[in-house]
Structure formats: structure tokens, C-alpha cells
Amino acid sequence: MRGEELAPVTDFAGHSLSAAELDEVAAILTAMMQDLQELRDLDLPDDVEPIVTFRVEPW
Amino acid sequence: MTTGTWPWRSLAEAAAAVKSGAVSPVELTRACLERIDHIDPVVHAFVSVDADGAMQAARAAEQAIKAGHYRGPLHGIPIAIKDNYDTPGVATRNGSRVFADRMPAREATTWARLRDAGAVLLGKCTMSEAAWGVDFPPVRNPWDVRRNPGLSSGGSGAAVGAGLCFMAMGSDTGGSIRIPAGLSGVVGLKATYGRVPRTGVMPHTWSLDHAGPLTRRVEDTALVLGVIAGHDPDDVGSADIPVGDYMHDLRRGLRGMRVGLPREHFWDRMEPRVEAAVRQAVRDLEKAGAEVKSVSIPHMAGALGAILVTEMASVTTWHDRYLKSAEHRAKYTPEVRALMDAGKLIFATDFLKAQRLRRVLVDEVRAAFDGIDVLATPSLPLCAWDVAESHVQIAGQPEHVLHACWRYTYPWNLTGLPALSVPCGFGDGLPVGLQLVGRPFDEATILRVGHAYQEATHWHEMRPPEPVGRPA
């Protein structure tokens, strides 16, 4: 992933960055891509709802 | 006993001596301050020391106790607090130049509870920038000052490990209490999410943040938890669930205790010296009467992506107003600023997938607890690394230290379960930690197991070499 490729995305996010900053962000995203892809590839059952407000309850 | 040896005693011993009049809070505080003067120029555990305020509080405690107003085991005990806890009158910087001049108006609930119990605040502990980046000057591991004491509560771990105070408060979003505890050879507790209030602790990741203590003995942690635990209406994550007496069952031993060892994830990639120490610790638990079983948590191995997106999106959201200000933005280090910028590019779909996985993990862990009382794992897969190192070799493969160090701790932030790190040996002279994980709000059981382990072993009695005069 190259920093310049991210420019339209950061602009869309309302968070425009310099070329050097885009390169740093690209390096971080590249490093975490394998873990992110693993999350995306998980096949979770349809009835699993996200925990939107995290609370722990006694069992 | 000379006052100079007091900082190495347990909090429980110091408390008993204060109560009986064998030592005064002023003597304890002076001994800690002298030791900080002597050791901290090398260790850098403290970002600020309030000697005058500490001596004033110690004298007040001494007078109150003499007048018959003893408040309990923390009365007159010198402690330290991480630099992200709000303490009016003492700057709270969150380890960041962005907050260099921040004087909080309110106090953290935990600090208020500690102060009301009579604790004496020595100062604030060094922490990583915004609980994420590097600390400057770098905190040094008391066991080897060339090495890192762990993130981001490294100052708290080093302060306790170097015998500079009897307890230090840390905070833990993915392991930042248990990691420094493991690396610095001390005890660290992340209680159940919601058990210890986070009010007045600068947020990092709302659904993962925990506040908690680091001490040298499990008994000391139990005493502190009894003071800081309990519902706080100002913390939206706080649980309104009664707090028990953590000392009540502490000495019941291990007979009949069922310890689960997860088959997945926790034993996959670690340094052999760590595995040897932790496997021996499990055998020691068995020898002391525990029954050890194997359990399964199938999705645990793939959870790193879930905490990454949860943390990055949350941190960036909290810091957004500062990132938008050119003046503030320039005060972040480039490394932390880039992480926060990257957080802008976390997709909502990935964030929600992560929160779905958290539900699956909670259900799987709950099922794994059917038939066991606690889980046991290593606290970390590696020992303390050189401060100049960014990568280590684990199982023959290079890995970034920040990627490796939280591998066994972050699952318990995703699930919110209580987790305790206890010193369980050494690898090449560097501490190794055993992590004990309990059911929700069952801190009493992991404390009981940890205490029984310390009663059966002597790792917590080992002291690091004096670091005076070694290169900082």
C-alpha cells in the first residue's frame, strides 16, 4: 500500500494528510493488514450481534 | 530493622507496623523518598515527585493514627499513581506534550478512595505517550536497566519492582498493568471491566480500559482492591455489583481448585525460557492441590484484529479534537500521530465485526469455564527486551516487540474478565509472569490462587540488583 493511494480516502474522511504523513499511515495499515484480513475472513453465525455498549454481567 | 529496608517490605507488613506503632508513616515516606532520590535518576519511574506534599500527608496520617483515628491498611502507606490519573494540584500529563500543562480540576475516583483511606501520594509514574507511544526518558527495568519494564504503565511497574513505593496504580487497555508486572517481577491486577472506576483516568479505549494496582505481593493487591473497587455512578461502565471482602478467602489454599489451560493461542509462540517457567508454575499449582485441565477457546487465536480496530478507532475518536488543532497536533510524536491518523481509516464494518467477535469470545470463554475455577496462561511470550530493540526472535521468527508483548493479555480486555499477573520465575535473570484469569467479578478466586502460589514459592521475595551508577 502506498501513501498516495490513501489520499482520496483520507480526504473523504475529512482528515487530509501530507505526503509524508500518508506514507506513515500506509506503513501502519500495511503492517496490520494480515490481522485485519483475518478478522474480515471470520465466518460468524448470522445471529451474533455486536456488543455495542460493552458491559460485563455476572454469569 | 532500619527504615531504609522498609520500602522492600510488603504493603501488608508495613500496614501492620503502622497500626501497631512499630513504624510511622513519616518514616516510611522518608525512606521511600530517599530511595527515589537514590535510584530514580537511573530507573526514571517517576515523572514527578511531590516530596513536600507526601511528607505533609505522612505527618497528618501519623497524627491521626496517634489520636486513635486509624482508617485501615492504607493509612500512612506511600504509593504512586500513573500519570493519566487526575490529581488536582499535581499535573496529569498522560505522558504527552499535548497535556504538558494540564492541571485537572477533578480527582480520579480511585485516587479519592485511596486518599480517603489515608494513602500518601509520593508522585506520578512515567507512562508511554497517550498510553501508546514511547516514554521519555525511557523507563528502565529494575532487573536490568538496559531493558524495558513494559508498556504503558512501565513507570508503575518499575517503581514497585525497584522498591520505591508499596503500590502503584496503572491502567490496562490491552495488558498495560499485567505486562509491566510480568516484566518487572511484580503483581498486577486488571479486575473485571466495571469493577474499578475509571472516572478521572484519561480515556484510551472506552470499552477496554481498566484501572488497577501493581504491588509486590498478592495479599497487598487484595488490600488495595478492597479500597478502590465498587460502583461509581460517574463511570458509565461501572458495575453496581456488591464488593466482597477480598481478604476473607485469601488463605484457603488450592485444595480442590480447578485450573484450566487453554489449548489454543496461549502456548503457541513464546520464548523457551518463558514456557519453562510457566509450565513449572502450573506443576507447582498442581503440587499444592490444584487440579489442572485442558480447555478450548477456538476463536482466541484470531482476535488480534478485533482489538486493533477497536483500539485504533477509539483512541483516534477521543484525540480527534487535538489532532484537528495544528498547535496540539504538532505536539504528538510522529509515531503516535501516525497511529491516530491511521485510526481515521478504520471502517465501521470492521469495527462492528470486532464487536461481534467479542460476543463470540465471551460465549466461548464462558463455556470453557464450565468445570474450572480459573484459567492459567503465561503473562507474556517474552522477557524484558533491550530498550533499543524493536524486534525480537520468538520461535525462530522476528516479531515486533509491541506485537508480541500483549499477545496473552489483550484477550481479557476484549472479554472484560479479571486477570492477575504473578511473578513465577526467571529466564536468564529476567522475571517471568504467570497470568490467572477468573469469572466475571470473581477477583477473590484469582487472588486466592495467586496468594497460594506465592505462599508456595519465593519469587516475590527476590530483589533486583541496585541500579545506582549504571548507565541511564
Give the tens place of pLDDT for each residue, B265-306: 999 899 999 999 999 999 999 999 999 999 999 999 889 999
Average pLDDT value over all residues in chain B: 95
B460, B426 Cβ separation under 8 angstroms: no
Contacts of A32 in chain B (CB under 8 A): 305, 308
The 10s digit of each residue's pLDDT in B102-142 is 999 999 999 999 999 999 999 999 999 999 876 667 899 99
pLDDT band at B88 (very low <50, low <70, confident <90, very high): very high
Q: Which residues contact A32 (CB under 8 A, 6 or more apart)?
A: B305, B308
Bridge pairing between strands B120-125 and B78-82: parallel
Q: What is the pLDDT, as a whole number, of residue B133? A: 74
Q: How far apart are CA B28 and CA B396, in angstroms?
A: 47
Q: What is the pLDDT, as a whole number, of residue B3? A: 63
Which among B148, B224, B221 is positioned nearest to B186, based on CA atoms? B221
Q: What is the pLDDT, as a whole number, of residue B179? A: 97
Active site residues of B: 82, 152, 176
Nearest C-alpha of chain B: how many angstroms from A4? Answer: 14
B407: three-class secondary structure by DSSP: coil
Pick the residue from chain A with its C-alpha nearest to B207. Answer: A54
B271: three-class secondary structure by DSSP: coil
Please name the residue ranges forming H helices in B98-137. 109-116
Q: Which residues contact B402 (CB under 8 A, 6 or more apart)?
A: B151
- Among the partner residues B342, B416, B440, nearest to A28 by beta-carbon distance: B342
B395: three-class secondary structure by DSSP: coil
pLDDT band at B470 (very low <50, low <70, confident <90, very high): low
In the predicted model, what is the mean pLDDT of residues B224-244?
Answer: 96
Strand-pairing partners, residue B81, are B124, B169
B53, B144 Cβ separation under 8 angstroms: no
Mutate to test the interface with B, among A15, A43, A53 (most CBs of B within 10 A): A15
